[in-house]
Amino acid sequence: MKISNFVRATLTAASCCLSVFAISTSAHAASLVPVDLELSLLVDVSGSVDNNEFSLQRQGYVNAFSNADLFNDFISKGNLGKIAVNLIYWSGANQQQEVVGWSLIDSVASAQSFANNILATTRSFNNGSTAIGSALNFATPKFFNNDYDGARQVIDVSGDGVTNDGAPTTTARNAALTAGVDAINGVVIGGDSGLKAFYQNNVIGGTNATGAPAFVLAAQSFQDFGAAIDQKIKAEIKPTSVPEPASIVGLLAFGAIGAS
């Protein structure tokens, strides 16, 4: 069968475009910075969180990354000794904002710089519903459009309420895991056992390093949040550090994903 000059030219152009795309994709992949972990921190700023409680949450993250022990005793002990982290504030269905972009942490100084960047953030939303699923859908693509190549990819969700708005939570969780996120862990704030069960059944999933299951910690109150998030971040960096339920005042429990 004869091929017209136009068709031949079109096929040649298409082939060239595919080759350029393949080369570009390969070059981009080669330029990515390898890290032990890509960690996305998702912080609840919905209407049920007042400004004082927001400040306590923010300070909990600041304190965790300001502490030199986080790098010296945890991050530096990884195969590469470095991680990448970002921070997202979320509320209702269309209320998500990446307030600190993906940042390389490969020293005490860079960890403390990340802490300072968190401290400089302001609250993105002052009211709104609770849309955990929409927050997961917002965070997931950012793993695949950043400058890092993590051996593991983990989402860390903190919140004080169940989903009442936006995308279905279990659907978003499953989509994130299918896309390649290794684990979604949670911290629930408050002593409501129903909230912890919701996170177990609908939010957390996947596995952390060494096969450790996804887990949820519970802080009795916002005052206890700092201790909870410190332990949670350490557990995500070095899963063998996940605390026993009674090891820290204010932490109620942790567990594997339940049936959804």
Find the radius of gyration of the CA atoms of the chain: 20
Domain identity same for 18 and 145 = no
Q: Is residue 71 part of a domain?
A: yes
Range of the domain at 184: 33-241
Question: DSSP secondary-structure letter at 94?
Answer: T
As beta bridge partners, residue 37 has 83
Q: Examine the pLDDT at 171 and tell me if it is beyond 80.
A: yes
pLDDT of residue 15: 56
Rounded Cα distance between 25 and 8, Å, is 26
Considering the entire predicted model, what is its pTM? 0.82
- Count of domains forming the chain: 2
Burial 37-54 (b: 16+ CB within 10 A, else e): bbbbbbbbbbebbeeebb
Q: Examine the pLDDT at 11 and tell me if it is beyond 60.
A: no
Q: What is the mean pLDDT of residues 156-167?
A: 96
Q: What is the mean pLDDT of residues 186-208?
A: 93
Q: Is residue 57 part of a domain?
A: yes
Q: Is residue 260 part of a domain?
A: no
pLDDT tens string 71-126 = 999 999 999 999 999 999 999 999 999 999 999 999 999 999 999 999 999 999 98
Query: 209 falls in which pLDDT band (50, 70, 90)?
Result: confident
Rounded Cα distance between 15 and 17, Å, is 5
Cite the beta strand spans of 6-90 per DSSP E. Answer: 33-35, 37-44, 83-90
Domain identity same for 8 and 134 = no
Domain identity same for 75 and 161 = yes
Domain identity same for 115 and 25 = no
Kindly write down the DSSP assignment for every residue of 121-152, as one continuous string.
---S-SS----HHHHHHHHGGGGGSSSEEES-
